Amino acid sequence: MIEIEKSSGNVYADLEIPDAGEMQVKARLAAKIGEIIKHRHLTQQQAAEILGMTQPKLSGMLRGQFRGISEAKMLECLNHLGRDVQIVVRKASRTHASGRTSVVFT
Protein backbone atom coordinates (compact mmCIF):
# COMPACT_ATOMS: atom_id res chain seq x y z
CA MET A 1 0.00 0.00 0.00
CA ILE A 2 1.26 3.49 -0.88
CA GLU A 3 1.37 5.96 1.97
CA ILE A 4 0.12 9.44 1.08
CA GLU A 5 1.19 12.46 3.07
CA LYS A 6 -0.75 15.72 2.97
CA SER A 7 1.23 18.72 1.71
CA SER A 8 1.94 21.68 3.91
CA GLY A 9 1.27 23.93 0.92
CA ASN A 10 4.99 24.50 0.37
CA VAL A 11 6.65 21.75 -1.67
CA TYR A 12 10.10 23.02 -0.65
CA ALA A 13 9.23 22.60 3.05
CA ASP A 14 7.74 19.18 2.34
CA LEU A 15 11.04 18.15 0.74
CA GLU A 16 12.93 19.69 3.69
CA ILE A 17 14.86 22.07 1.45
CA PRO A 18 16.72 24.85 3.30
CA ASP A 19 15.14 28.31 2.97
CA ALA A 20 11.82 26.74 1.92
CA GLY A 21 9.84 29.94 2.48
CA GLU A 22 12.20 32.01 0.35
CA MET A 23 12.21 29.36 -2.36
CA GLN A 24 8.41 29.34 -2.51
CA VAL A 25 8.30 33.13 -2.81
CA LYS A 26 10.88 33.03 -5.61
CA ALA A 27 8.96 30.27 -7.39
CA ARG A 28 5.77 32.35 -7.36
CA LEU A 29 7.63 35.44 -8.58
CA ALA A 30 9.35 33.47 -11.37
CA ALA A 31 6.03 31.97 -12.44
CA LYS A 32 4.48 35.45 -12.67
CA ILE A 33 7.45 36.78 -14.65
CA GLY A 34 7.11 33.86 -17.06
CA GLU A 35 3.37 34.44 -17.36
CA ILE A 36 3.88 38.11 -18.26
CA ILE A 37 6.59 37.26 -20.81
CA LYS A 38 4.30 34.70 -22.44
CA HIS A 39 1.31 37.09 -22.41
CA ARG A 40 3.41 39.78 -24.12
CA HIS A 41 4.64 37.23 -26.72
CA LEU A 42 8.28 38.06 -25.95
CA THR A 43 11.14 35.77 -26.82
CA GLN A 44 13.48 34.96 -23.97
CA GLN A 45 16.13 37.12 -25.64
CA GLN A 46 13.75 40.10 -25.89
CA ALA A 47 12.65 39.61 -22.28
CA ALA A 48 16.26 39.26 -21.07
CA GLU A 49 17.13 42.60 -22.67
CA ILE A 50 14.14 44.27 -20.99
CA LEU A 51 15.06 42.70 -17.64
CA GLY A 52 18.77 43.49 -17.84
CA MET A 53 19.98 39.91 -17.60
CA THR A 54 21.36 37.31 -19.95
CA GLN A 55 19.05 34.92 -21.77
CA PRO A 56 20.62 31.86 -20.08
CA LYS A 57 20.09 33.45 -16.64
CA LEU A 58 16.44 34.20 -17.50
CA SER A 59 15.95 30.70 -18.87
CA GLY A 60 17.31 29.19 -15.67
CA MET A 61 15.11 31.41 -13.50
CA LEU A 62 12.01 30.40 -15.46
CA ARG A 63 12.96 26.74 -14.99
CA GLY A 64 13.25 27.11 -11.21
CA GLN A 65 16.99 27.70 -10.98
CA PHE A 66 16.82 30.92 -8.99
CA ARG A 67 19.19 30.36 -6.06
CA GLY A 68 21.59 32.99 -7.46
CA ILE A 69 18.83 35.54 -8.11
CA SER A 70 17.63 37.71 -5.24
CA GLU A 71 14.00 38.42 -4.49
CA ALA A 72 14.85 42.11 -4.99
CA LYS A 73 16.06 41.36 -8.54
CA MET A 74 12.87 39.43 -9.27
CA LEU A 75 10.77 42.36 -8.01
CA GLU A 76 12.82 44.66 -10.23
CA CYS A 77 12.06 42.34 -13.17
CA LEU A 78 8.34 42.77 -12.49
CA ASN A 79 8.82 46.56 -12.52
CA HIS A 80 10.64 46.32 -15.88
CA LEU A 81 7.68 44.31 -17.18
CA GLY A 82 5.30 47.13 -16.26
CA ARG A 83 4.05 45.90 -12.90
CA ASP A 84 3.80 47.87 -9.69
CA VAL A 85 5.10 46.03 -6.64
CA GLN A 86 3.79 46.94 -3.20
CA ILE A 87 5.36 45.55 -0.04
CA VAL A 88 3.12 45.49 3.02
CA VAL A 89 4.47 44.81 6.50
CA ARG A 90 2.00 43.95 9.25
CA LYS A 91 1.94 42.29 12.62
CA ALA A 92 2.04 38.48 12.45
CA SER A 93 -1.13 36.60 13.27
CA ARG A 94 -1.47 35.13 16.73
CA THR A 95 -1.19 31.61 15.35
CA HIS A 96 2.40 32.18 14.15
CA ALA A 97 5.30 32.72 16.54
CA SER A 98 7.23 34.54 13.83
CA GLY A 99 6.16 36.37 10.69
CA ARG A 100 6.08 34.84 7.24
CA THR A 101 6.44 36.12 3.70
CA SER A 102 3.90 35.50 0.96
CA VAL A 103 3.25 36.74 -2.54
CA VAL A 104 -0.21 37.95 -3.56
CA PHE A 105 -1.07 38.97 -7.12
CA THR A 106 -4.05 41.19 -7.86
Mean pLDDT per segment of 10 residues, for the chain of length 106 residues? 84 82 91 97 98 96 91 96 90 76 79
Residue 70's pLDDT is: 94
DSSP code at position 8: -
Predicted TM-score (pTM) of the model is 0.83
**Domains of the chain as residue ranges with CATH:** 11-80 (1.10.260.40)
The region, left, alpha or beta by phi > 0 then psi within -120 to 50, assigned to residue 93 is: beta
List of E strands, 10-97? none
Residue 99's pLDDT is: 77
d(CA 81, CA 62): 15
Residue 72's pLDDT is: 94
d(CA 106, CA 67): 26
